[in-house]
Chains A and B, each alone.
Chain A
Amino acid sequence: MPELGLSPDEWTAIRLSLRIAGLATLVSLPLAILVAHWLARTRFRGKVLVDGLVHLPLVLPPVVTGYVLLVLFGRRGPVGAWLEQTFGLVLSFRWTGAALACAVMGFPLMVRAIRLAIESIDPRLEQAAGTLGASPAWVFATVTLPLALPGIIAGAVLCFAKALGEFGATITFVSNIPGETQTIPAAIYTYTQIPGGDAGAFRLSIVAVIIALGALVASEVLARRSGTRAQPE
């Protein structure tokens, strides 16, 4: 019996889940910050549309999102074919594809948290920095970003937790291949489909709870540590 009563296959699923969720969070974070800043601080025609597009994966059936990804990023899809020809990058049925699906599903949660954080910053603080000679890029780096840090951390953790639990879009886009795309939820689903799989499903469910709880506690601690110095006057 391997360590902690988990089988090697289960450990593989856990490691894979963490890797996929980590990559999904890291890659989408810069983009989410930019989009959140754009939505929070500028007024433009069609903002409602952009806002809706960002939030679409939140309300769409995950299977639909996964299917859209499959159509676009599959090896014969317009984006997927281009990626393969130009960079030799294949996403469908790979763990990187699972990361893409998780990133798309977690993106609205991340943008929402960061956007709220940026909107709660008094714009006059940024204006004050501007009159002191800071260009918009410097204002963003030295005022907006540090003050929004608790929200950015919260958004990243939300995205990470969502990525860990993502099932529908992932299984539609990259299927359920042990060792490549079989994440914790997919492994649990597989267990529930075979006779006598209850114990395995139960073990992995406990692992999922522990990881999710750990992520939430970590984000709370981080946000509090940065929050003590970032409370508005």
Chain B
Amino acid sequence: MIRFDCQLDRRDFRFRVAFEAETGITALFGPSGSGKSTAIRLLAGLEAAKEGRITLGDRVLLDTAKRVFIPPHRRRIGLVFQDAQLLPHLDIRANLTYGRFFTPRDERRIAFDPVVEVLGIGHLLSRQPDTLSGGERQRVAIGRALLASPHLLLMDEPLASLDAARKTEILPFIERLRDEFRVPIVYVSHAVEEVARLAARVIRLDNGAVTAAGSPAEVLAPVALASFADRFDAVSVLSAPIRRYLPEYGVTLLDHPAGEIVVPGLVPTGQGEVRVAIRATGVTLAVGRPAQVSVRTVLSGRITAIDRNESPFAMATLVLPGGQTLKAYATRLAFDALGLDIGDEVQALIKAATIDERSLAILPPA
């Protein structure tokens, strides 16, 4: 259990953030400049708060009122930087064991071999950091932080410097370390798909303040019309059990009460449901069942709100059978042409090509 409550002032930036995080992955989500990285650096002890208190379990890491400040090297908090920051003069094995050396023997609860195995870095051990690819370096950085047996692992945009293929490659490793090593993780990202997939809890930050906190479905769905440029980050999170696979087409069908959802890829089978983030810009609204269209996912729902201003787009909120909500963007022109209004029954078409397979999370059985 992490309790964080800190304030600090910089030129043009006020930071007033308080949140709590449990086990599992807590995501700090928000645009750049929102204070995510500042929160991480405060947690790690790399930055000093003007006022604040941070506790991890029953340990007080910071309490400005009582003048308590535990320095970074005694916090037992691991930090994975955006760009690995491997020590360039040491080989991979030495990088991995660096933190282990400083961990008291009886606190080394995370062993070397399983970490190397889970992260798939066994073949890299005798290499030098500058000979590794970005994705490999990042996996080593995660392993290095983990091998210090931290009480909390911080990840500051760990995938931001990687291309899409490397991101997809690393996400399963992060899930495995969450599940197998049981280290609580605070994960900073501005990528909505990563957050939707990994996080049990999302803290949304804007301009140095918490604007929302809760489950990914609650926090990631836009409450209001996002600004023109942010519309691609507006997602709804739906969850449904797997109905069946179509291996010859490489897709998975989910059994949602509002209709079948086609998602790309053969989602590994879990006992629980699959959670998928659907971009509001990838949803098409139709009145009546459309005839011959390429979109396979057609969900029925009822419009409960339409958010519009002078921007070209308006956003509809649909309630689906089963109670989950779905957001849809369309031009104001389309809303007026179709005469859409609150209370209307509509069909929501979701193009599978707009679903990022990185956002697919397999939830543990309820």
Instruction: Tell whether A125 pairs with B87 under 8 Å between CB atoms, given A131-B44, A132-B145, A133-B102.
Output: yes
Q: In the complex the two chains form, is A133's CB within 8 Å of B85's CB?
A: no
CA A133 to CA B85, docked complex, whole Å: 15
Contact B98 A129 (CB under 8 A): yes
A90 touches B (CB below 8 Å)? no
Give every chain B residue within 8 A of A146 (Cβ-Cβ): 89
Question: Are A132 and B130 in touch, CB under 8 angstroms?
Answer: no
A112 to chain B, nearest CB (A): 23
A230 touches B (CB below 8 Å): yes
B92 within 8 A of A: no
* Interface flag for B128 (CB, 8 Å): yes
Q: Interface on chain A toward B: helix, strand, loop, or mixed SS?
A: helix
The closest CB in chain B to the CB of A138 belongs to B102
By a CB distance below 8 angstroms, the chain B residues around A131 are: 44-46, 72-73, 75, 77-79, 145
Contact B78 A233 (CB under 8 A): no
A189 to B245, CA, bound (A): 93
A133 to B145 alpha-carbon distance, docked (Å):
10
Expressed in whole angstroms, the minimum distance between the Cβ of A232 and any Cβ of chain B is: 5
Contact size range, B = 20 to 34
A229 touches B128 (CB 8 A): yes
In the assembled complex, 25 residue pairs joining A and B whose CB atoms fall closer than 8 Å, in A order, are A122-B85, A125-B85, A125-B88, A127-B44, A127-B46, A128-B79, A128-B87, A131-B45, A131-B46, A131-B72, A131-B78, A131-B79, A132-B98, A132-B102, A132-B145, A133-B74, A133-B99, A135-B71, A136-B73, A138-B102, A139-B73, A147-B88, A229-B128, A230-B88, A233-B137
Contacts A132-B144, A229-B88 known; 11 new A-B pairs at CB < 8 A: A124-B81, A127-B79, A130-B73, A131-B79, A133-B101, A133-B103, A142-B98, A147-B88, A147-B89, A229-B128, A233-B85
Which residues of A are at the interface with B, using a C-beta cutoff of 8 A?
122, 124-125, 127-136, 138-139, 142-143, 146-147, 229-233
